[in-house]
Structure 1
Amino acid sequence: MLLAGHSLTVWARRPESAQDLVGKGAVLAQSVEDLAKTCDYVGVCVVDDAGVEDVCSKLIPALAAGSVLVIHSTILPSTCEDLARRCAEAGIQFLDAPVSGGSPAASAGTLTVMCGGTPETFEHALPVLQTFGSKIVHLGPAGSAQQAKIINNSLMAANMGLAFSALDIADKVGVDRAALSDLIKHSSGRSFGFEVFARLPTPDAFAHGAKLLLKDVELLGSMLGPDAGANALATAALPFLDATGATRKTDR
């Protein structure tokens, strides 16, 4: 955003994580409320529903009418639907806009941005989203972008789970693991998830990423509801996620 000529004010729950942006010219807000009073466009990127709720409970009362609140976290669609309602009551525009691509795409400004909200809010937010995203899609009303992101991340987890099973089979039948990994990258079984898994020395080397993917697979279960039963994405993903040491909610 700074490179695109926008002014930027930042706040972080861990102050040290904002220092890089401050060093590049961003202004550091002293509190969430201070951020809201300074900005007419606020993007939120924290880990989970609880974090989003905590930040937004302070942001929404402090934002001026006509401001834009954008949620980049991956959370429950119903949380975004509730936030959209609360924002509408306060005269604030709301967009849920989770992203995909990771740190490399963020640094290059080529993230994929999935958007849910009114068409008017999407168009209003687009110039800012274009400063860090190259594929930006409006999917429908608030919450719809979260639905798409949860499906996307669960598919990534399932592909890594299938890669875990495939390479385990290769080991058992005596196929050279490295040769097979290279072969699949050029064959019809390839996927981004397979390529990520094939680079891992052991499953637990993906422990940090696995916690986030497990969160999103659990969000898929919550989104589908108790009557959905076991779904194919979770069924494929969970053996791999268990192997990383990620802990399911039911195990906590």
Structure 2
Amino acid sequence: MSITCGFIGLGDQGGPIARRMIDGGLPTVLWARRPESLDPYRDTPASFAATIAELGRKADHVGICVVDDDDVRQVCADLIPAMRPGARIAIHSTVHPDTCRSLEHDAAERGVFVIDAPVSGGSPAAKAGALTLMLGGEPDVIEAARPVFETFGRLIVRLGGVGAGQHAKLINNSLLAANIGLTDMALAAGAELGIAKDALVELLLASSGRSFGLEVRARMPAPTSFAHGAALLKKDVRLLGEVLGSEAPPFVALRDAADDFLSKALAGETAAAAT
């Protein structure tokens, strides 16, 4: 049976996800706070909703990819009351697991299902339909949503109940931050020993010390050029601490490995805000 999809959050990652859904032949309704965000989709079969509630009334499956917990809650406050019983929401934003669980409770009162479905891979993977999806929710609800997820995802993994997907995403992003931080220290060690950065990076990328964090750090002219990404990673490390507890050894190890680099990356942004 054909389903109608909705999507909210047409940013760098959400936009390509929505495009993959549309190109995959799924009837798709879009809503955006700024009308100009809909311009890239005006030559597609997608339709547009004037309000979130209108989108909710039309859709059987709604993907959400907005910035943070407050944005997710604000969208769902209008969305959930408008949706039909049996419809579902997939939260692709990276947020606190408790936010997803709270929304699951609110949605269940109206017979609506929630899947927490954060993604990894960024805009390039979204455009290629190769995102990794980390899912939390009921198995049958996730199975029903799989045809939608397969339009933009390559690895689709259920990790448990609602909130489990966010747990995995926070671990993933905290590990990335730690790996970038350790790479930054490794490059500093190389500089102190007189090894040219480019030569050391080339060697490490071909050796057992390689990691995606190394690739990310190697592309930066300086940590401050990564201020936007660092702000997002710092938020995710903080959320992992809230989930695990600030004294939990796994969190302390990841935080300590990431902290110095994240502080350096955000220093330029802090200085600019102070001027």
Q: Which range, TM-score by smaller chain?
A: over 0.9
102-111 or 12-21, larger mean C-alpha shift = 12-21
How far apart are residue 227 of structure 1 and its match? 4.6
Cα distance in 2 for partners of 1:69, 1:153 equals 23
Offset of residue 21 of structure 1 = 2.6
2:199 matched to 1:179?
yes
TM-score (norm 1): 0.94
- The count of aligned residue pairs is 249
Q: Does 1:126 align with 2:146?
A: yes
Deviation digits for residues 148-169 of structure 1 (CA, Å, limit 9, x no counterpart): 0000011011111111111111
SS at 2:254's partner residue?
helix
Q: 1:37: how far off?
A: 1.2
Within 5 A, what are the aligned runs for 1:96-115? 96-115=116-135
| Cα distance between partner residues in 1 of 2:38 and 2:175 | 31
Q: Is the CA contact 2:246–2:252 (under 8 Å) kept in the aligned structure 1?
A: no
Matched, 1:202 2:202: no
Which of 204, 208, 212 aligns to 1:192? It is: 212
Alignment partners' CA distance in 2, 1:53 and 1:141 = 19
Q: List structure 1 runs of 4+ shifted beyond 6 angstroms.
A: none
1:1-252 matches, within 5 Å, as 1-228=21-248, 231-245=252-266
TM-score, normalised to structure 2, is 0.87
- Aligned-partner SS, 1:2: helix
Give the conservation status (yes or no) of the 8 Å contact 2:85–2:111: yes
Please tell me the root mean square deviation across aligned C-alpha atoms, in Å.
1.7
For residues 152 and 11 of structure 1, what CA distance do their matches in structure 2 show? 30
Which structure 2 residue ranges, 5 or more long, are not aligned?
1-20
TM-fit CA distance, 1:220:
0.8
CA deviation profile, 1:62-102 (whole Å, cap 9, x unmatched): 11111111100001111111111111111011100000000
Unaligned runs of 5+ in 1: none
